[in-house]
Amino acid sequence: MGRWRLAAALGSGVAAAAYWRRALTRDGALAAAVVGSIVFGRGGAPAAGALLTFFGSSSWLSRVGRRRKEGGALPQAKGARRDAWQVLANGGFATVSIALGPKRGGGAFLGALAAAGADTWATELGLLARRNPRLITSWRPVAPGTSGGITPEGLGASCAGALGVGLAWWLLGGGWRGVPLAVVAGLGGSLIDSWLGATLQALYRCPACDEVTEEPRHRRCGQPTLPVHGQAWVTNDTVNALATLAGAVIGALCWPTAHRERAVR
């Protein structure tokens, strides 16, 4: 019982600090406190370190080059502060996985979190690339920030984000084979995210300024937008959740090999 009290205190403390630093909205902080408490209490030091590495690096990267990101053709729909849907889309499947216990759910947890880290790093640093991305399905050039667009810089960032999650897991006692598992699952989940973004994610056009956006109501103009591509129910959060689910599946499939090396206790 004492372990869960400590986990709840740590999870709530980290979420409160993130809210104070304006990295989370109020509902996002509440969701992060729940996620953190479960991960800290059930997954121990390796899972806690992986989660903190993902969240800390993602929050910092969202502020890198903010003016350039906000001034692009497709600025991020929700800005730098993450709400509850974003927290759950990125960390929901990882949390459910680790709730099963490190022995049963460790691989899925690590794969899901690595996919979230890979996608976040690719998005945040890919937006700053000097060249236009190319759509993953057709390879045609698209505007920076377009869902489904990839760049060499973004792919490198994707590997780095997944690697960071895997290294934190390993250095805090989770076993070194978690590192390649995280990179494979993270990169795989990130590429699936790009494919879903290019094929199913909803895209709109603002009739007032003719700007393309992922929002059903354009924030800059305050006008309802017109659908031009994808399915209305497939938002960026939906794509993120499906990508982390893919990462969890890849991680779970790779986990038996890693688990023979060291079972996290």
Backbone φ/ψ region at 261: left (φ over 0), alpha (ψ -120 to 50), beta: alpha
Nearest CA to 202 out of 169, 226, 219, 220 is that of 226
Residues 6+ apart with CB under 8 A from 67: none
Identify the residue whose tokens are 């497939």: 234
What is the tens place of the pLDDT at every residue in 247-262?
999 999 998 755 544 5
Q: What is the pLDDT of residues 196-248, one digit of tens each?
A: 999 999 988 888 888 888 888 887 787 888 898 889 899 999 999 999 999 99
pLDDT at 80 over 70: no
In 62-141, where does DSSP find H-type helix? 66-70, 84-99, 102-126
pLDDT for 46 beyond 90: yes
d(CA 166, CA 155): 17
Taking the C-alpha atoms of residue 24 and residue 47, their distance in angstroms, rounded to an integer, is 21
Q: What is the mean pLDDT of the chain?
A: 87
Taking the C-alpha atoms of residue 117 and residue 120, their distance in angstroms, rounded to an integer, is 5
Residue 246 CA to residue 118 CA, distance in Å, equals 13
Q: For residue range 107-117, what is the model confidence (pLDDT) as tens digits?
A: 999 999 999 99
CB 16 within 8 A of CB 29: yes
Residue showing tokens 């937008």: 225
